[in-house]
Amino acid sequence: PAPSVNTTVIPECREEQFPCTRLYSVHKPVKQCISYLCVTSVRRMYIIN
C-alpha cells in the first residue's frame, strides 16, 4: 500500500505546495509522510522557503 499512498500524496502535495507546507509545518506530519516519500517534496519547500 506504500506506492498507492505515495502516488496520492505526491500530487496532492505538489498541487498545494503553499498550503501543504503550512499544514505540514503546523501538524508536523513529516514522520508519517516520510513513509510515503512526500517528505522529500515538503522538505525541499522548507529549505527553499
| Residue for grid cell 505540514 | 24
Report pLDDT digits (tens) over 10-42.
Answer: 444 444 445 555 544 444 444 444 454 554 454
**pLDDT recorded at residue 4:** 43
What predicted TM-score, i.e. pTM, was given to this entire model? 0.12
Considering Cα of 25, then 10, then 6, then 49, what sign does the dihedral take?
negative
pLDDT at residue 49 greater than cutoff 50: no
**pLDDT recorded at residue 46:** 45
